[in-house]
Amino acid sequence: MKKVISGKVREVYDLEDGRMVIVTTDRISAFDVILPTMITDKGKVLNALSNYWFELTKDIVKNHMISSDLKDMPAEFQKDEYEGRTILVKKLKMIPYEVIVRGYMFGSMYEAYKKGEPFLGHKFDRAYEQAEKLEEPIVTPSTKAAEGHDINVTLEYMKNDLGKELGEKIESMALAIYKKCYDHAYKNGIIIADTKFEFGLDENGELVLADEVLTPDSSRFWNLQEYKVGTSPASYDKQFVRDWLKSKNLAGDPTIKEVDADVVKRTSELYHECVRKITGKDL
């Protein structure tokens, strides 16, 4: 067994038998800096949400989950510190794209729209306000950069690169997953404005959903009760942390020593509220 990834949030171990162990930590990053203070239970929330969505969407696409039971994992992980934040997964040949599904006119897409420009090959024939729901969600991939930032590309670029059949299958799968999960979240008071998916191929060349799925770290979640077209809705994410860093002139500062306890508490509460609304239960 060897550790192959130590990311901003996750630790990934290769068991070298076709399986991997993924541990989701309580680390949090903002402005490209991993902060020194953990957010209580953040990793458990992200893990619980991903596992919930994997189960909900397995009728649409296979996923990489094997088990979330520590007893199924090597002895090194059979400890309390790994409970609720660790999964055993199938190792895949990962597709080198993040597949972003956007359901609302927001962010960089809205900036392009205001200028009258197409957005990554997509043109809009009707008028939209900021944060307004699109008539139909769209897919806009990005390349997975080994270093630096990912690069947004058109859907056609991805299809040409991967081959039309695989590219179209990824597009249809991503949209089907998004629509099913969007409807579930909406009924429970959360709008999934946009999200990203990652896919891989198994030993038979079948498409498999992998990584994390529809968490506040990989998606833009809005509170349905507070949502209003024409505004910039507050997200279920690390906005408390970002705002605090800006107020202290610490945004992007790698020398930060600690995040205030009340900011940690409020951020943790927001993550808990998110998992409670979506799954119907807390951790």
Distance CA(87)–CA(72), nearest Å, equals 9
Predicted confidence at residue 144, as pLDDT, reads 80
Predicted confidence at residue 150, as pLDDT, reads 80
253-275 pLDDT, tens digit each: 999 999 999 999 999 999 999 99
Task: Point out the residues of the chain with pLDDT beneath 70.
Answer: 145-148
1-91 and 93-223 agree in CATH topology: no
Rg (CA), the chain: 19
Predicted confidence at residue 218, as pLDDT, reads 93
**What's this model's pTM, rounded to 2 decimal places?**
0.94
CATH of 93-223, one of 3.30.470.20, 3.30.465.10, 3.40.50.2000, 3.40.190.10: 3.30.470.20
Predicted confidence at residue 234, as pLDDT, reads 87
Domain-wise residue ranges, the chain? 1-91, 93-223
Strand positions, DSSP E, 26-153: 29-30, 33-34, 62-63, 65-67, 86-90, 93-94, 97-104, 133-143, 151-152
Predicted confidence at residue 147, as pLDDT, reads 60
The letter for the amino acid at 143 is: T
92-133 pLDDT, tens digit each: 999 999 999 999 999 999 999 999 999 999 999 899 999 999
Domain 1-91 top-level CATH class: alpha beta
Sequence-distant (≥ 6) Cβ neighbours of residue 235 within 8 angstroms: 216, 220, 221, 222
Distance CA(281)–CA(238), nearest Å, equals 21
Average pLDDT of the residues of the chain: 95
Return the bridge partners of 90, or none: 19
